[in-house]
Chain A
Amino acid sequence: MSIQKILLQYEPEPENLLRAIKDINKEQKYISEKDCREISKYFSLPLARVFSLASFFDLIKFHPERKKIIKVCSGGPCVMERSLEIIRQIEMLLKIEAENDASPKVKLEIMSCQGLCDRGPIMMIDDQVFEKVKPEMVDDIILNYL
């Protein structure tokens, strides 16, 4: 869907600003400066307002992501189910370090609780969610989904 089409789904009211930004981010995986200008025009709000809202959330990206992003939850309940071992296992397997940008292909991020603690540990590869992951399963998941 084009940006204009997405925008036209919403009345140009401030309460729709985050909704529109999220939709565009979802469609293109990021929002460019040009998009921000269009959003600002459509909502008749200053460009700075659009940037300041969009940049507040980690979910909204300003550049296309070229890496695969692996995320592992490190909330207390997931830690009790060995999620930190999962992180270590991924680090060893892919020879990367969590939160480190060095690898051109993949990044391992530590993630906050997803509210899925009853199905933890939670791991994600891009948008795909894996539940009840065990350290022993990491090799298979990486091999099949990365």
Chain B
Amino acid sequence: MQIITKNWDKIDPFRIEDYIQAGGYASLRKSIREMDREDVILQIKESGLRGRGGAGFPTGEKWEYSAKTNSDAKYMICNLDESEPGVYKDRIIAEKNPHQIIEGLLIGAYAIGAKKAYIYLNGHYREAAEILKIALDQARDKEFVGKGIMGSAVDVDVEIFQGAGAYICGEETALINTIEGKRGEPKLKPPFPPVCGLFGKPTIVNNAETLANVAYIIKRSAKTFSQIGPNSSPGTKLFLLEGAVKNKGVVEAPLGTTAEELIFNSLYGGGMVSGKEFWFAQIGGASGRLMPRGKLDQTLTYGNCEYPIGAGSILVVDKMADIKDFLYSWAGFFHRESCGKCVPCREGTFRLWEIAKRMKNNDLREKDRENIKDILWTLSNTTFCPLGNFAATAWSDAVKMFEKEIFPNTNKTNNDTN
């Protein structure tokens, strides 16, 4: 089943003609010419599409909030900030088929009544920036973007806004702050952006992969889409297979596929790199949980599931790896990326990073065990935004699953000076 990857490597991302020939922009035409805004939103609602940026919020429902809010201006934003370690799917969509994102963004803008749309692009993405810029210029030339789209009375201008390399700016309120020229710190919700977002106006922020599904739904009907995968979370998902798996890279699979299939089925990962033995998999990037062998048969969906897919990365770790390297990697990441707005996260990630560094030098103290517990509890329960919780997710799992590896000499009390 291919929705997102269907035309990859078949069309030239620098030629809008290729995309059009493959049926591209027909859904935009259909939306504007044949459908009311309400119809478009209804289709997206009935398709059951859920956001692919991590939280899995129903997309149609979100659009409806903005559509129903009266305002002189509204905004539609494509979130292509993508800074979760191990996640680069949105970059690949942009590089292989940029118009698929742009078409979804335009249909969304039409549906909610936004005249202005942004693509918020990760500051590191140089090639994707170039490709998207050319794609937008071509779309403007063909009158898909700008004033009077395809001879209609619909105006949507699209601009690229490139960030400056900060993970937290992928969080929608922080993202909005940086476009407004403010620090990229998250804001208190409510008000939620669909009602009060960019410059105080109704604003939809959608992940790039979410938007890349929209044209398909309009073209093939909500029903067709809703029949792919499980009822509660239909459609396909891009997964990133990484680490000790044979075929690394981006694959598209129906939601509801198990981690086992993704890793071991020859359609996808094709099993472990020869000579390596499965230890655990991290699902969803640095902020994701650790899945042991016994849980590999869990289906991955955006419903209520034990191992949230997040943005879709599956990092396969083999038994030769050292858990301390990962604790070091996670703690360092969240320490660097904590925005500093709230104390539990700013201090908690800093202390965890200190402990991780000591751990790597085999200099863990007995008291650290207690401290780690306190810090993880604080991060999980008291931080202002989800980044603080993310910082504790993998650590909490690791401490439970790999106690022996992390605290090898539990009986010995080290001299403690702290």
Please report A residues at the B interface, Cβ cutoff 8 Å.
14-19, 22, 43, 45, 49, 52-53, 56-60, 74-77, 79-80, 84, 110, 112-118
Interface pair B165/A59, CB less than 8 Å apart? yes
Instruction: Check if B248 sits within 8 Å of A118, measured CB to CB.
Output: yes
Produce 1/0 per residue, B49-89, CB < 8 A to A. 00000000000000000000000000000000011111110
Known: A56-B166, A80-B243, A115-B82. A15 touches B179 (CB 8 A): yes
With A57-B166, A59-B165, A60-B164 already in contact, the answer to whether A79 and B184 are too (CB < 8 A) is: no
Instruction: Name which residue of chain A comes closest to B316, CB basis.
Output: A80
How far apart are the CA atoms of A41 and B248 in the complex, in Å? Answer: 51
B166 touching A114 by the CB < 8 A rule?
Answer: no
Interface centre among A16, A52, A57 (most CB of B within 10 A): A57
Chain B residues near A14 (CB, 8 Å)? 180-182
Q: Which residues of chain A have C-beta atoms less than 8 A from B88's C-beta?
A: 115-118
Instruction: Establish whether residues B161 and A15, one from each chain, have CB atoms under 8 Å apart when the complex forms.
Output: yes
Report 30 cross-chain contacts, Cβ distance below 8 Å, ordered by A residue: A15-B180, A15-B181, A16-B181, A17-B181, A18-B164, A19-B162, A43-B181, A59-B164, A75-B85, A75-B86, A76-B282, A76-B315, A77-B85, A77-B313, A79-B325, A79-B329, A80-B244, A84-B328, A84-B329, A110-B336, A112-B165, A112-B336, A112-B337, A113-B83, A113-B84, A114-B124, A115-B122, A117-B86, A117-B242, A118-B248
Given contacts A115-B88, A117-B88, contact A56 B183 (CB under 8 A): yes
Q: Of B180, B321, B329, which is within 8 A of A74 by CB?
A: B329
Q: Could you say which residues of chain B place their CB within 8 Å of the CB of A118?
A: 88, 248-250
- A115 and B123 CA atoms in complex are apart in Å by 10
Is B328 touching A74 in the complex (CB atoms < 8 A)? yes
Q: Which chain A residues border B164 with CB–CB below 8 Å?
A: 18, 22, 57, 59-60
A115 pairs with B87, CB closer than 8 A: yes
Q: Which residues of B contact A117 (CB under 8 A)?
A: 85-88, 240, 242
| Assembled-state Cα–Cα distance A110/B250 (Å) | 26
A122 to chain B, nearest CB (A): 10
Q: A59-B164, A80-B244, A117-B240 are in contact. List 15 more A-B contacts (CB 8 A).
A: A16-B181, A53-B181, A59-B123, A74-B333, A76-B242, A76-B243, A76-B282, A76-B315, A76-B330, A77-B85, A77-B243, A77-B313, A110-B332, A113-B87, A116-B124
Contact assessment for A57 and B165 in the assembled complex, using a CB-CB cutoff below 8 Å: yes
Q: Is B167 an interface residue when CB atoms closer than 8 A count as contact?
A: yes
Give bound CA distance, A59 to B252, whole Å.
34
- Find out whether the CB atom of B240 lies under 8 angstroms from the CB atom of A75: no
Query: In the assembly, what is the distance between CA of A98 and CA of B120, in Å?
Result: 32
Interchain CA distance A19-B129 in the complex, whole Å: 14
Please encode chain B, from 310 to 327, with 1 for each CB lying within 8 Å of some chain A CB and 0 for all others.
000101010001000110
Within 8 A of A (CB), among B283-297: 285-286
List residues of chain A with CB within 8 A of the CB of B250.
118
Residues in B neighbouring A53, C-beta threshold 8 A: 178, 181-183
CA distance A45 to B285 in the complex (A): 38
**Is the Cβ of A56 less than 8 Å from the Cβ of B181?**
no
| Neighbouring B residues of A16 by C-beta, 8 Å | 181
A64: min CB distance to chain B, Å: 19
Q: Compute how far the CA of A110 lies from the CA of B315 in the bound complex, rounded to whole angstroms.
A: 20
How long is the Cα–Cα vector from A19 to B180 in the complex, in angstroms?
A: 11
